[in-house]
Amino acid sequence: MERLRVKYPIIVEGRYDKARLASFIEGDILQTDGFQVFSDKKKLALIRRLAAEEKVVILTDSDRAGFRIRGYLAGAIPPERVLHVYIPQVQGKERRKRRPSAEGTLGVEGMETEVLREALAKAGALAGEGVPPRQPITKGMLYALGFSGGERSAVLRRALLKRLELPEGIGANALPGVLTRLVSPAQLEKLAKELRQEIF
């Protein structure tokens, strides 16, 4: 199947859900790490920041835990910035698990690709022909601008995250996708020059 492009960042519960979507989707996928998002202020701040720029997609399991996480996130983000995507309640067990979940239903990680594709399409989360892709921020750009790979890169990167009001804990793999949603390559280059002048 051809990889699908999504319009907005997708928020899922865990790393297996993220891996499942990443197997057929092009786009940013963030995980709440289950209930940890309730106490992780930085992660919630990042989700709010993304929602301030554009809509975010919430795709959680259709069980009590999933609806609790969905409700928490939906309460923290203006309703017009949230796109809810729901999966059907299908009885079953994920392959990696020894026993079914408490409610005996499959989560996002256990859903068939076509079911997930249809759910995303019905909610309007898939990018169509007329939606131009954003110009991506790549790891190569971060390296070229001094945000990675150099002696002072960590200092510069922390300054960038602070300037953009982003949490310091964003990993190297997630950073390009997050920045793509917030700034253009030209804006990032301008920020790099400004920060270098201020710091060094």
Per-residue pLDDT band at 90 (split at 50, 70, 90) = confident
pLDDT tier for residue 129 given thresholds of 50, 70 and 90: very low
The pLDDT-based confidence of 153 (bands split at 50, 70, 90) is very high
Beta-carbon count within 10 A of 31 CB: 19
Report the first-to-last Cα separation within the chain, whole angstroms. 49
Nearest to 176, CA basis, from 196, 149, 147: 147
* Residue 133 to residue 43: CA distance in whole angstroms: 25
pLDDT at 130: 47
For the cut 90, the answer to whether the pLDDT of residue 142 exceeds it is yes
- Over range 34-48, report the average pLDDT: 93
Can you read off the two tokens belonging to residue 26?
Answer: 């092009």
Query: Range with the lowest mean pLDDT among 69-73, 121-125, 162-166, 191-195?
Result: 162-166
Q: Is the pLDDT of residue 2 over 80?
A: no
Q: What is the mean pLDDT of residues 171-194?
A: 85
Per-residue pLDDT tens for 93-109?
A: 777 777 777 777 888 99
The band of 112, judged by pLDDT with boundaries at 50, 70 and 90, is: very high
d(CA 167, CA 172): 12
Per-residue pLDDT at 162: 86
d(CA 174, CA 28): 8
Pairing of strands 10-12, 56-58: parallel
What average pLDDT does the chain have? 88
pLDDT at 131 over 70: no
The residue among 155, 149, 141 whose CA lies nearest residue 190 is 141
